[in-house]
Chain A
Amino acid sequence: MEKSEKYLTFKIENELYAIPITKVREIIRYTTITPVHDALSFLKGVINLRGKIIPIIDMRLKFNLKESTYNDRTVFIIVDIVNRESGYIYSVGIAVDSVNDVVDISESNLERTPEIGLKLRSGYLTGIAQVNNNMIMILNIDKILTKEDVIDVNEIIKEKESIEK
């Protein structure tokens, strides 16, 4: 039998994204966010998840999309991230427009990310796949949330600013 893995798919700005289900700790409904002002732009704030402080990342802001107000369909996907430096696992919530489905994607259906033609930098994706006539972009969640990447993004912002000037 062909090797396949289960993925959770979700929508951001009407596009389908997926992450491996093994990375997902839980999915929760929108809950009050305590905003953090002096922080990374895509870091929306923090929530209290049963006594734990979990940072929430807004994927729209991360992908430089239009910011939308959260409504009752907004969900937070709590994912486990392994910090490569310390080896600790920590949880991060990602805010997405809506959660869609859980799908099987076999290895052979997973294509390498094309370098161009996508809104995201290809580094953020592990690949793309076609499921039920929909294109799904598979996010490399560790890559998106590592510290190096955080610094990377800041540099991009700086670059942008300097170009704008």
Chain B
Amino acid sequence: MIIDVLKLIKELNIKESYDEKKEIIDSINLLIPQINSILKKYFVDELKHKEKKEYPEDFFDNITTDKKMLQDFIIESLEHLERAQVDIVDLEYDPTNKDKIDSIFRAFHSIKGSASFLGLKNIEEVSHELENLFSMVRDSKLRATKEIIDKILEGIEFLKNIINVITINDFNIDKIKNDFKSINIYSYISEIRGITGHKKIGEILKEEKRIDDEDIQEILLEQIETKKKFGEIAVEKEKVTEEDIKTAVAKQQEELKKFVSNYVKVSYDKLNELIDNVGELVINQSMIKQKLSNMIKDVELERILNSFEQIITSMKNIVISMGMIPIGEIFNKLKVVIRNTAREVNKIVNIQMEGEETELDKNVIEKIYDPLVHIVRNAIDHGIEMPDEREKVGKPRAGLLYIGASHRGNNIEIVIRDDGAGINREKIINKAISMGLIENSDNLSDKEVFNFLFLPGFSTKEGVTNISGRGVGLDVVKKNIESIKGKVEIESYKGKGTKFIIKIPLTLAIIEGFITKVGTNTYIFPFDIIEEIITFSDKDVTKMGDGDYMVFHRGKHIPIVLAGKVLKEMNYKTDIKDAIVLVIEYDNIPYGIAVDSVLGKQETVIKSLGILFASNPVFSGGTIFGDGTIGFVIDVEGFINSVKRKEGLNI
């Protein structure tokens, strides 16, 4: 009899489906209950085996050997994946876009279908999990959060890698199988299941110490036979009460929710209002501190005021960070763009990124993405040369694209630099002349020349390629950046490459301010732009015809601008001997700005002056001092440009 059973067991190993196995179990069950328990053990072992995430022996047995079909599958799937990748990147900015969600869902679905048909079970299972995950997004059970999108992008890369194995092994099925076996899909699948919240009821019950491993095995086995739900069987077998199951189910839901919404959604407007209010709180607090400590000298009061200040400072920091997102998020998406673009134009591009952790306002992140994509695509399309060309001029075949973000004073600076051919200055000048913008290139600095590129309709491109030249030029880039009060500059060196520098001001801007008095008002200069502060005696100064001065200082001639004149102040010091001169450097040119007096250095909260000042580029904002008076914060670029404009220079 035992031999019979062993035969059956042997047969069992060969038979595939659970149904068949069940048939045998049934017959054995009729034979001897002991053997039943042996079989149970076997089954549980197999289940455990499955849990151990290893491929069953026959997992890859059914892969088709039809090369043509595999080829078609690869082309089709890669296409699907590429499109899904683009869609999913879009989805991050528009998480509820039904079309995109559907299209991504369809991509996974059709890959799953074809893979199953061709016996590519690993691809089938991975895309099945992705489809599952995405169906939850589609049914609004799950929000397409950053975590989920990252996971899916990872999954897409993973699928591409698996698919590439086929091509790499030149459609040799044995080699493919071998490689497939070394790629573990289960760790990724379990990560996805972690998101879809498939924590088994049994696991939860075990955690709750309602049942033990043995019970679980027993129930699992029963489940195989009856196809009932785990909970139902557990209750039937009186392992647990119905109440326990309900709690466990509730727990399961809870787990899911945890993943879905570990966040409180706050409208952006509210957040802005909060940031604004906290900014005002900071000012009021410093006003109170100044007033009170001038009036009352009291140690206890001072202690209270200090802790008050600390609380507000930490509150300010929290509030500012609330609306911030690390820029790495869009950097990751740029990587996809770079890779795809490089492939489109058959160029090799290495990516170097820095400062991914730099945090930017969410609003800014959204607005900066398109300009960055544009610049990056431009850099690859027009900047970086073809590999052969690069080799000829002694550069490595692979071009380098550097993207970095960093804090610079009151700004976030984003730099996009390529090591390509650089911008052809002559070409721009010729174009500018032909457009009637200039008559000749005399005295034009590189910056002035490159600035033409930001003009609408200014394109030196001869042919229009797929990548750029789709009617969106750098003028749009500039406009987008300016809409978030940012600035963009180009530096380019022929043969060496081009550098785009984007500067974006921080939201609740607090700067080290240099407080000066000019005429009746107080003006604040950003401290980090000031090179030095000097006073003059007669001998160093040359007075120019129009009331301006020129000084010779440290071997350089420095034009002096009377701040009062630019700011249209009244009663400011016009004699430079009485004034104090702040030396700044702008565009590599030193300027001296004469102010009446310097009051000191102070942390300054920059407040918006509102739309009525929008046409005034000289101020970047205003501030309120501890005593309640208002000062104006100077925007150096606007200030210098205003001077140039007054001198009739075309800028």
Q: Residues on A close to B: CB < 8 A? A: 32, 34-40, 43, 46-48, 50-55, 57, 83, 90-92, 145, 147, 150-151, 154
Q: Does B134 contact A (CB under 8 A)?
A: no
Is there an interface contact between A43 and B569, defined as CB atoms closer than 8 Å?
A: no
The count of residues in chain B whose C-beta lies closer than 8 Å to any C-beta of chain A is 32
Can you show 15 pairs from A to B with CB atoms below 8 A apart? A34-B629, A35-B521, A38-B618, A43-B612, A50-B284, A51-B280, A51-B287, A51-B624, A53-B607, A55-B609, A55-B612, A83-B611, A92-B610, A147-B614, A150-B615
Name the A residues within 8 Å of B287 (CB-CB). Answer: 51
Among B519, B618, B628, B629, residue most surrounded by chain A Cβ atoms (within 10 Å): B628
- State in angstroms the CA–CA spacing of A83 and B283 once bound together: 25
Quote the shortest CB–CB distance from A121 to chain B (angstroms).
Answer: 19
Is there an interface contact between A38 and B616, defined as CB atoms closer than 8 Å?
A: yes
Interface residue from B607, B611, B618, B628 paired with A147 (Cβ < 8 Å): B611
Is there an interface contact between B280 and A55, defined as CB atoms closer than 8 Å?
A: no
Interface residue from A32, A39, A57, A147 paired with B616 (Cβ < 8 Å): A39
Name the B residues within 8 Å of A46 (CB-CB). Answer: 609, 622, 630
Is there an interface contact between A40 and B622, defined as CB atoms closer than 8 Å?
A: no
Q: Does B553 contact A (CB under 8 A)?
A: no
Quote the shortest CB–CB distance from A44 to chain B (angstroms).
Answer: 11
- State in angstroms the CA–CA spacing of A145 and B610 once bound together: 11
Is there an interface contact between B628 and A48, defined as CB atoms closer than 8 Å?
A: yes
Q: Does B566 contact A (CB under 8 A)?
A: yes
Q: Does B8 contact A (CB under 8 A)?
A: no
- State in angstroms the CA–CA spacing of A34 and B610 once bound together: 15
- State in angstroms the CA–CA spacing of A32 and B614 once bound together: 23
Q: Does B281 contact A (CB under 8 A)?
A: yes
Is there an interface contact between B280 and A39, defined as CB atoms closer than 8 Å?
A: no
Is there an interface contact between A40 and B630, defined as CB atoms closer than 8 Å?
A: no
- State in angstroms the CA–CA spacing of A61 and B519 once bound together: 23
Using CB atoms, name the residue of chain A closest to B285: A51
Is there an interface contact between B616 and A55, defined as CB atoms closer than 8 Å?
A: no
- State in angstroms the CA–CA spacing of A145 and B612 once bound together: 8
Is there an interface contact between A55 and B607, defined as CB atoms closer than 8 Å?
A: no
Identify 8 new A-B residue pairs, CB closer than 8 A, beyond the known A38-B568, A43-B612, A51-B287: A34-B630, A37-B567, A48-B630, A51-B279, A51-B281, A53-B609, A53-B624, A92-B612
Is there an interface contact between A55 and B610, defined as CB atoms closer than 8 Å?
A: yes
Q: Does B307 contact A (CB under 8 A)?
A: no
- State in angstroms the CA–CA spacing of A35 and B622 once bound together: 12
Interface residue from B567, B615, B629 paired with A48 (Cβ < 8 Å): B629
Q: Does B632 contact A (CB under 8 A)?
A: yes
Is there an interface contact between A37 and B568, defined as CB atoms closer than 8 Å?
A: yes
Among B279, B284, B611, B618, residue most surrounded by chain A Cβ atoms (within 10 Å): B611
Name the B residues within 8 Å of A38 (CB-CB). Answer: 566-568, 616, 618, 642
- State in angstroms the CA–CA spacing of A150 and B615 once bound together: 9
Q: Does B520 contact A (CB under 8 A)?
A: yes
Name the B residues within 8 Å of A150 (CB-CB). Answer: 612, 615
Name the A residues within 8 Å of B536 (CB-CB). Answer: none
Is there an interface contact between B283 and A51, defined as CB atoms closer than 8 Å?
A: yes
Is there an interface contact between A39 and B628, defined as CB atoms closer than 8 Å?
A: no
Name the B residues within 8 Å of A92 (CB-CB). Answer: 610, 612
Interface residue from B284, B566, B570, B622 paired with A53 (Cβ < 8 Å): B622
Quote the shortest CB–CB distance from B363 to chain A (angstroms).
Answer: 11
Q: With A55-B610, A147-B611 in contact, do A36 and B632 touch (Cβ < 8 Å)?
A: yes
Q: Does B613 contact A (CB under 8 A)?
A: yes
Is there an interface contact between A50 and B280, defined as CB atoms closer than 8 Å?
A: yes
Quote the shortest CB–CB distance from B330 to chain A (angstroms).
Answer: 22
Interface residue from B607, B618, B629 paired with A52 (Cβ < 8 Å): B607
Name the B residues within 8 Å of A57 (CB-CB). Answer: 612
Quote the shortest CB–CB distance from B617 to chain A (angstroms).
Answer: 10
